[in-house]
Amino acid sequence: MSPFHLQTAGRGKMQIINYAAWIPTEKAPLEVGTAPYPDLGADEVIVKNRAVAVNPVDWKIQSWGGFGLKYPTVLGEDIAGEIVEVGKNVKALKKGDRVIAHALGMANGHAYGGFQLYPRLKAATVAKIPGGLKFTSAVVLPLSISTAAAGLYLKDNLGLEFPVLKKDVPQQIRDVDATTEPGAWTLVDVEKEKTKRPVLLLWGGSSSVGSSVIQLAVASGYDVFTTASPANYSYAKALGAALVLDYHNPDIVAILISLLKEHGAPVVGAYDSIGSETTVRQNAAVLHALGGGKIATVGAAPDGLPGDVKVGRIGSGNIVSQEGGVVAKKIWQEYVAAALEEESFKPAPDELVVGNGLYYVQGGLDRQKQGVSAKKVVVTL
């Protein structure tokens, strides 16, 4: 049956009509139309969607084509809403729970796309959110969490330590951290610490992905040295970055090399959340000067990098498909809901709501394509 045919919920429930913002063919504008009410797998949930966020990949697919998709399909990775149905193997979630989810439509087809009223979701990338947290604030997180987690924790990427909840951090470490306001760290403050924490270099600390990288890496025990525009220094520091430098400075690579050498703590690798050829080369130049290391990048590895630098390309869906799904379990099942509840992980960046209803999703893609700075484009439903 064509997905454009009206279809309503079966399974003996009240009749529910689903709608989606379809991309009917490659590179076409989105069209709002009815969509099949989804089937439900044993390890899945169905959510009544309340808010979606827009990511660069959505307009990239629409503008560039490719990505191996079958059309018509439904784009969208970030959703927030209430669970309406729960598969029989899913024990940690129940009907009525308020959740965020990374919708895996690119790998699994249109029923799993985020830009619809009732997306079908793998429970592996669903987490409850606190009662007081608005859907519009929380929906900024899912893809950025998965992407940050893939780059930081998969062994083919940086393979770092998993994050620890604040309540599980030993008291003496909390006491040391409490002496410094999280938003007020400077290099000098870092050097005053008795034991220097290993450093993660992060390119793009004010991006959506970078915002989750900072928070996860800090909770994993690393100091984050990052880059952003000066207007976003306080933003990145408030998320926990130890040091923020302006990537527009033509001497940025030399400055980072000198600061990291002077600081002296081991550098565990670089996370490139921008993924341009320039940013991969900049990260590579810093690591090479420090003796080599690994880069996890959202982009591709250009030719001619120093031999002592290894580059791994990040795929957000790999947290489910690789290493037996352990990264998805550690982050989505064991960390996200609890960290949001204890407020050690914050929804960031702030949402930029561009409208209410599926008809506004195309405008959301257009707005994201224009570029944002420490903001996430959101449509309420």
Ligand X SMILES: NC(=O)c1ccc[n+]([C@@H]2O[C@H](COP(=O)([O-])OP(=O)(O)OC[C@H]3O[C@@H](n4cnc5c(N)ncnc54)[C@H](OP(=O)(O)O)[C@@H]3O)[C@@H](O)[C@H]2O)c1
Stretch that binds ligand X, among 94-102, 131-139, 200-208, 256-264 (CB under 6 A): 200-208
204 part of the interface to ligand X, by CB under 6 A: yes
CB of 184 to ligand X, least distance (A): 19
Closest of 204, 197, 190, 246 to residue 218, by C-alpha: 197
Closest of 300, 283, 295, 291 to residue 264, by C-alpha: 291
Residues 359, 32 contacting (CB under 8 angstroms): yes
Q: At what angle do helices 361-370 and 56-64 cross, to 10 degrees?
A: 100
Closest of 318, 371, 63 to residue 204, by C-alpha: 371
CB of 180 to ligand X, least distance (A): 23
Of 267 and 319, nearer to ligand X (C-beta) is 319
CB of 225 to ligand X, least distance (A): 13
Closest of 307, 303, 273, 279 to residue 293, by C-alpha: 307
As a whole number of angstroms, the distance between CA 209 and CA 274 comes to 9
125 part of the interface to ligand X, by CB under 6 A: no
**Window 301 to 330, contacts with ligand X (CB under 6 A):** 314-316
Letters for 245-274 (x = contact with ligand X by CB under 6 A, - = none) are --x-------------------------xx
**Window 49 to 68, contacts with ligand X (CB under 6 A):** 55-57
List the structure tokens of 63: 């503008």
Letters for 217-236 (x = contact with ligand X by CB under 6 A, - = none) are ----------xxx--x----
DSSP 21-42: EEE-STTPPPEEEEEPPPP--T
Letters for 6-45 (x = contact with ligand X by CB under 6 A, - = none) are ----------------------------------------
Of 106 and 290, nearer to ligand X (C-beta) is 106
Stretch that binds ligand X, among 2-10, 162-170, 207-215, 286-294 (CB under 6 A): 207-215
Q: Is 242 helix (H, G, I), strand (E, B) or coil?
A: coil
Residues 186, 294 contacting (CB under 8 angstroms): no
Task: Choose, by CB under 6 A, the member of 116, 147, 157, 344 that binds ligand X.
Answer: 147
142 part of the interface to ligand X, by CB under 6 A: no
Q: Which residue is nearest to ligand X (CB)?
A: 373
Of 89 and 234, nearer to ligand X (C-beta) is 234
CB of 117 to ligand X, least distance (A): 24
CB of 146 to ligand X, least distance (A): 7
Of 215 and 279, nearer to ligand X (C-beta) is 279
Q: How many CB atoms lie within 10 A of CB 4?
A: 15
DSSP 69-96: --SSEE---EEEEEEEEE-TT--S--TT
Residues 377, 354 contacting (CB under 8 angstroms): yes
CB of 307 to ligand X, least distance (A): 25
All residues at 6 or more sequence positions from 28 whose CB lies less than 8 Å from its CB, including other chains: 62, 71
CB of 216 to ligand X, least distance (A): 14
List the structure tokens of 341: 């509840």
CB of 159 to ligand X, least distance (A): 17
Of 34 and 279, nearer to ligand X (C-beta) is 279
Phi-psi region at 21: left, alpha or beta (left = phi > 0; alpha = psi -120 to 50): beta
Of 86 and 214, nearer to ligand X (C-beta) is 214
208 part of the interface to ligand X, by CB under 6 A: yes
364 part of the interface to ligand X, by CB under 6 A: no
Q: How many CB atoms lie within 10 A of CB 157?
A: 25
Binding region for ligand X (CB under 6 A) = 55-57, 143, 147, 203-204, 206-209, 227-229, 232, 247, 273-275, 279, 298, 314-316, 372-374
